[in-house]
Structure 1
Amino acid sequence: MISGDTILITLMLVTAVNFARYITALRSLIFIMREAHPLLYQQVDGGGFFTTHGNVVKQFRLFHYLKSREYLHHHDALFTGKCNRVRELFILSCALLGVTLLAAFVV
Protein backbone atom coordinates (compact mmCIF):
# COMPACT_ATOMS: atom_id res chain seq x y z
CA MET A 1 0.00 0.00 0.00
CA ILE A 2 1.24 3.48 -0.84
CA SER A 3 1.46 5.83 2.10
CA GLY A 4 -0.05 9.30 2.13
CA ASP A 5 3.36 10.88 2.55
CA THR A 6 4.62 9.25 -0.64
CA ILE A 7 1.62 10.54 -2.57
CA LEU A 8 2.05 14.03 -1.15
CA ILE A 9 5.78 14.17 -1.89
CA THR A 10 5.18 12.92 -5.44
CA LEU A 11 2.48 15.53 -6.01
CA MET A 12 4.78 18.25 -4.67
CA LEU A 13 7.58 17.12 -6.97
CA VAL A 14 5.32 17.03 -10.04
CA THR A 15 3.90 20.46 -9.14
CA ALA A 16 7.40 21.93 -8.72
CA VAL A 17 8.59 20.52 -12.06
CA ASN A 18 5.55 21.86 -13.89
CA PHE A 19 5.93 25.25 -12.21
CA ALA A 20 9.56 25.34 -13.38
CA ARG A 21 8.39 24.49 -16.91
CA TYR A 22 5.87 27.35 -16.70
CA ILE A 23 8.48 29.89 -15.56
CA THR A 24 10.87 28.78 -18.30
CA ALA A 25 8.17 29.07 -20.97
CA LEU A 26 7.20 32.51 -19.61
CA ARG A 27 10.79 33.72 -19.81
CA SER A 28 10.99 32.42 -23.37
CA LEU A 29 7.73 34.19 -24.26
CA ILE A 30 8.96 37.51 -22.89
CA PHE A 31 12.19 37.13 -24.88
CA ILE A 32 10.25 36.45 -28.09
CA MET A 33 7.75 39.21 -27.28
CA ARG A 34 10.50 41.83 -27.52
CA GLU A 35 10.69 41.33 -31.30
CA ALA A 36 7.21 40.01 -32.10
CA HIS A 37 5.09 42.46 -30.09
CA PRO A 38 7.17 45.41 -28.81
CA LEU A 39 4.17 47.40 -27.57
CA LEU A 40 2.99 44.54 -25.36
CA TYR A 41 6.59 44.05 -24.21
CA GLN A 42 6.59 47.63 -22.92
CA GLN A 43 3.10 47.31 -21.43
CA VAL A 44 4.06 44.25 -19.36
CA ASP A 45 7.43 45.70 -18.33
CA GLY A 46 9.34 43.00 -20.20
CA GLY A 47 12.78 44.07 -19.04
CA GLY A 48 11.79 44.16 -15.37
CA PHE A 49 9.25 41.33 -15.36
CA PHE A 50 11.29 38.96 -13.20
CA THR A 51 12.95 41.55 -11.00
CA THR A 52 12.06 42.35 -7.42
CA HIS A 53 10.98 45.86 -8.37
CA GLY A 54 8.71 44.63 -11.18
CA ASN A 55 5.32 46.31 -11.47
CA VAL A 56 2.62 43.80 -10.53
CA VAL A 57 -0.11 45.74 -12.35
CA LYS A 58 1.87 45.46 -15.58
CA GLN A 59 2.41 41.76 -14.97
CA PHE A 60 -1.35 41.27 -14.65
CA ARG A 61 -1.66 42.85 -18.10
CA LEU A 62 0.10 39.78 -19.54
CA PHE A 63 -2.17 37.49 -17.52
CA HIS A 64 -5.27 39.14 -18.97
CA TYR A 65 -3.75 39.11 -22.47
CA LEU A 66 -3.25 35.36 -22.25
CA LYS A 67 -6.54 34.70 -20.46
CA SER A 68 -8.62 36.45 -23.10
CA ARG A 69 -6.59 34.85 -25.91
CA GLU A 70 -5.84 38.16 -27.60
CA TYR A 71 -2.73 36.55 -29.08
CA LEU A 72 -4.81 34.54 -31.56
CA HIS A 73 -5.00 37.58 -33.85
CA HIS A 74 -1.22 38.00 -34.01
CA HIS A 75 0.60 37.33 -37.29
CA ASP A 76 3.64 35.51 -35.83
CA ALA A 77 3.04 31.77 -35.45
CA LEU A 78 5.96 31.33 -33.05
CA PHE A 79 4.59 34.02 -30.74
CA THR A 80 1.07 32.58 -30.74
CA GLY A 81 2.45 29.10 -30.10
CA LYS A 82 4.48 30.33 -27.11
CA CYS A 83 1.47 32.23 -25.74
CA ASN A 84 -0.67 29.12 -26.04
CA ARG A 85 1.99 27.01 -24.30
CA VAL A 86 2.36 29.48 -21.43
CA ARG A 87 -1.41 29.63 -21.01
CA GLU A 88 -1.72 25.83 -20.92
CA LEU A 89 1.18 25.46 -18.48
CA PHE A 90 -0.32 28.14 -16.23
CA ILE A 91 -3.64 26.29 -16.11
CA LEU A 92 -1.85 22.98 -15.45
CA SER A 93 0.29 24.49 -12.68
CA CYS A 94 -2.72 26.04 -10.96
CA ALA A 95 -4.67 22.78 -11.15
CA LEU A 96 -1.73 20.78 -9.78
CA LEU A 97 -1.26 23.29 -6.97
CA GLY A 98 -4.93 22.94 -6.06
CA VAL A 99 -4.77 19.15 -6.08
CA THR A 100 -1.58 19.19 -4.01
CA LEU A 101 -3.10 21.51 -1.42
CA LEU A 102 -6.25 19.41 -1.30
CA ALA A 103 -4.18 16.25 -0.85
CA ALA A 104 -2.14 17.92 1.90
CA PHE A 105 -5.27 18.59 3.92
CA VAL A 106 -6.87 15.20 3.21
CA VAL A 107 -3.83 13.03 3.85
Structure 2
Amino acid sequence: MISADTILFVLMLVSLVNLARYLTALRSLIYVMREAHPLLYQQVDGGGFFTTHGNMSKQFKLYSYLKTKEYHHHHDPVFTSKCARVRELFILTMALLGVTLLAAFIL
Protein backbone atom coordinates (compact mmCIF):
# COMPACT_ATOMS: atom_id res chain seq x y z
CA MET A 1 0.00 0.00 0.00
CA ILE A 2 1.15 3.53 -0.72
CA SER A 3 2.09 5.56 2.32
CA ALA A 4 0.56 8.92 3.13
CA ASP A 5 3.96 10.59 2.85
CA THR A 6 4.35 9.35 -0.72
CA ILE A 7 0.92 10.63 -1.71
CA LEU A 8 1.60 14.02 -0.15
CA PHE A 9 5.03 14.23 -1.80
CA VAL A 10 3.60 13.42 -5.23
CA LEU A 11 0.80 15.96 -4.78
CA MET A 12 3.32 18.63 -3.80
CA LEU A 13 5.53 17.75 -6.76
CA VAL A 14 2.62 17.92 -9.22
CA SER A 15 1.52 21.23 -7.69
CA LEU A 16 5.02 22.70 -8.04
CA VAL A 17 5.33 21.59 -11.66
CA ASN A 18 1.92 23.07 -12.45
CA LEU A 19 2.84 26.31 -10.66
CA ALA A 20 5.96 26.53 -12.83
CA ARG A 21 3.82 25.99 -15.94
CA TYR A 22 1.46 28.75 -14.81
CA LEU A 23 4.24 31.25 -14.14
CA THR A 24 5.86 30.48 -17.49
CA ALA A 25 2.56 30.99 -19.30
CA LEU A 26 1.98 34.22 -17.38
CA ARG A 27 5.42 35.52 -18.35
CA SER A 28 4.68 34.61 -21.97
CA LEU A 29 1.32 36.40 -21.80
CA ILE A 30 2.93 39.57 -20.48
CA TYR A 31 5.51 39.43 -23.26
CA VAL A 32 2.78 39.10 -25.92
CA MET A 33 0.67 41.74 -24.16
CA ARG A 34 3.37 44.35 -24.77
CA GLU A 35 2.61 44.31 -28.50
CA ALA A 36 -1.00 43.14 -28.58
CA HIS A 37 -2.48 45.31 -25.82
CA PRO A 38 -0.05 48.09 -24.76
CA LEU A 39 -2.60 49.93 -22.61
CA LEU A 40 -3.27 46.85 -20.49
CA TYR A 41 0.48 46.21 -20.35
CA GLN A 42 0.94 49.64 -18.77
CA GLN A 43 -2.04 49.21 -16.46
CA VAL A 44 -0.74 45.93 -15.03
CA ASP A 45 2.84 47.23 -14.80
CA GLY A 46 4.12 44.70 -17.32
CA GLY A 47 7.77 45.65 -16.94
CA GLY A 48 7.70 45.36 -13.15
CA PHE A 49 5.18 42.54 -12.82
CA PHE A 50 7.64 39.93 -11.56
CA THR A 51 9.85 42.26 -9.54
CA THR A 52 9.88 42.53 -5.77
CA HIS A 53 8.50 46.05 -5.92
CA GLY A 54 5.56 45.04 -8.14
CA ASN A 55 2.28 46.77 -7.37
CA MET A 56 -0.31 44.26 -6.13
CA SER A 57 -3.30 46.39 -7.12
CA LYS A 58 -2.02 46.45 -10.70
CA GLN A 59 -1.51 42.70 -10.62
CA PHE A 60 -5.11 42.24 -9.47
CA LYS A 61 -6.15 44.25 -12.52
CA LEU A 62 -4.81 41.43 -14.71
CA TYR A 63 -6.56 38.87 -12.49
CA SER A 64 -9.92 40.61 -12.92
CA TYR A 65 -9.28 41.01 -16.66
CA LEU A 66 -8.79 37.26 -16.99
CA LYS A 67 -11.57 36.36 -14.55
CA THR A 68 -14.21 38.33 -16.44
CA LYS A 69 -12.89 37.03 -19.80
CA GLU A 70 -12.56 40.53 -21.27
CA TYR A 71 -9.96 39.15 -23.67
CA HIS A 72 -12.71 37.58 -25.81
CA HIS A 73 -13.25 40.97 -27.45
CA HIS A 74 -9.62 41.32 -28.51
CA HIS A 75 -8.64 41.03 -32.18
CA ASP A 76 -5.35 39.12 -31.75
CA PRO A 77 -5.90 35.32 -31.63
CA VAL A 78 -2.46 34.70 -30.09
CA PHE A 79 -3.24 37.06 -27.22
CA THR A 80 -6.67 35.56 -26.58
CA SER A 81 -5.30 32.01 -26.62
CA LYS A 82 -2.54 32.93 -24.16
CA CYS A 83 -5.10 34.61 -21.89
CA ALA A 84 -7.30 31.52 -21.98
CA ARG A 85 -4.30 29.28 -21.20
CA VAL A 86 -3.21 31.43 -18.24
CA ARG A 87 -6.76 31.47 -16.90
CA GLU A 88 -7.08 27.68 -17.15
CA LEU A 89 -3.68 27.10 -15.57
CA PHE A 90 -4.54 29.49 -12.73
CA ILE A 91 -7.73 27.58 -11.98
CA LEU A 92 -5.89 24.25 -12.14
CA THR A 93 -3.07 25.52 -9.93
CA MET A 94 -5.44 26.80 -7.26
CA ALA A 95 -7.41 23.54 -7.30
CA LEU A 96 -4.23 21.48 -6.96
CA LEU A 97 -2.97 23.64 -4.11
CA GLY A 98 -6.32 23.26 -2.37
CA VAL A 99 -6.25 19.48 -2.76
CA THR A 100 -2.66 19.36 -1.54
CA LEU A 101 -3.47 21.41 1.55
CA LEU A 102 -6.53 19.30 2.24
CA ALA A 103 -4.49 16.12 1.89
CA ALA A 104 -1.80 17.52 4.17
CA PHE A 105 -4.32 18.04 6.96
CA ILE A 106 -6.18 14.77 6.41
CA LEU A 107 -3.18 12.47 5.96
The TM-score bracket by the shorter chain reads: over 0.9
RMSD of aligned alpha carbons: 0.2
| Structure 1 runs (4+) greater than 3 angstroms displaced | none
Distance (whole Å) between structure 1 residues aligned to residue 55 and residue 97 of structure 2: 24
Deviation of the 1:82 alpha carbon: 0.1
Q: Which residue of 2 aligns with 1:17?
A: 17
Q: Which amino acid aligns with 2:20?
A: A
Q: Which amino acid aligns with 1:23?
A: L
Q: Which amino acid aligns with 2:63?
A: F
Count of aligned pairs: 107
Alignment of 1:28-67 (within 5 A): 28-67=28-67
Q: Which residue of 1 aligns with 2:100?
A: 100
Q: Which amino acid aligns with 1:31?
A: Y
Q: Deviations over 1:30-54 (max 9, x none)?
A: 0000000000000000000000001
Q: Deviations over 1:31-88 (max 9, x none)?
A: 0000000000000000000000010000000000000000000000000000000000
Distance (whole Å) between structure 1 residues aligned to residue 6 and residue 57 of structure 2: 39
Deviation of the 1:26 alpha carbon: 0.1
TM-score by length of 2: 1.00
Distance (whole Å) between structure 1 residues aligned to residue 5 and residue 54 of structure 2: 37
